Amino acid sequence: MRGQSIADEYIRQSKKLLFRTLNCCESQIVPFQNAHEIDNDVLLKAVTGLAGGMYNRGSTCGVVFGAAINLAMLKNKELENWTPGDELFLLKQVADYVKWFEESFGGHLCRDRTELDFQTMRGKVGLLFPKKAKGCVKQSALSMKYLLTHDSKIEVESCSEYDHCATDVLRMVRQRTGIGDKTIEQLSTVLDGGIGMSGGGCGALAGGIIALGLQFGNEHSKEDAFKKRNMFRTIPRKFSKITNELINQFEEKFGTLECEEIAKRQFDGFEDFLKQREECQPIIDWVIEKIIK
């Protein structure tokens, strides 16, 4: 009973944080860090642009991004060095979570569930309407409950080392500019294939947004998270300008932000994802060059 009451406290934190900041990704990460006694304020800066479906573009929900990163964060606490088998376990763990989220809420794309365009002031204000707000708060809370109580029973076959989407972007940016964080590179392996091979927001683009967050994102700690903030003035102007440019140019170049639409297929398991991953190298290279410029 005590364990349930403790879980309820972190669920309440998730609901409160989403309502105060409108950053759905942060609403998952801060309570999860508190629950597992993890301190990584750099991560909060890095995910500045993952709310609202890839910086308010309606792609994969920021709650889903946050949950995926949380699962990786917990694995990172347990193991300092990951094997390819550990990474594959995480990808499948995230895939199971995304499947649960879709079954629970009708999809994992932000635009499909909210029916709002966050690029407009009307869309941003629309999220404050009671029905919309309650929907997002409920999703944040139930997602946190899933993370705190779900016991994954996943078996993985052995696999050899393979390349990642967001991780490769972040690593190359760090090697060429000195800006980066090795822990966040490792956590970002779960973004492969549009978040756990689920075909959502492109992992390479997410890696680029995270890289920009590391340099230009919000500066605050998880202790600051519950302090009163103006929800419409939480994003640094320079971050907003550069991230919007990146996303606009990406969509113009590739036609969409979603992995499965770029690949024109849904992934049938890990081996199928690896075949597609080889074809995505030009996209990864394009994001790297744009970020460095």
- pLDDT tens-digit readout, 113-141: 666 556 555 545 545 544 455 567 788 88
Tokens of 46: 């890095």
| DSSP symbol at 200 | -
| Residue closest to 64 by CA, chosen among 110, 18, 21 | 110
Phi/psi at 258 (5° precision):
-90, 135
Tokens of 92: 């499948």
- The pTM score is 0.90
pLDDT in tens, 13-44: 888 887 777 688 988 999 999 999 999 999 99
Task: Provide the mean pLDDT of the chain.
Answer: 85
Band of pLDDT at residue 226, cut at 50, 70 and 90: low
Q: Would you call 255 exposed, middle or buried from its count of C-beta atoms within 10 A (0-12, 13-18, 19+)?
A: exposed
Lowest-confidence pick of 76-85, 166-175, 215-224: 215-224
Lowest-confidence pick of 65-74, 106-115, 117-126, 235-244: 117-126
Distance CA 2, CA 41 (A): 28
- Per the CB < 8 A criterion, the answer to whether 273 and 165 are in contact is no
Q: What is the mean pLDDT of residues 145-166?
A: 85
Band of pLDDT at residue 189, cut at 50, 70 and 90: very high
Residue with token string 């309650």: 134
Distance CA 218, CA 207 (A): 17
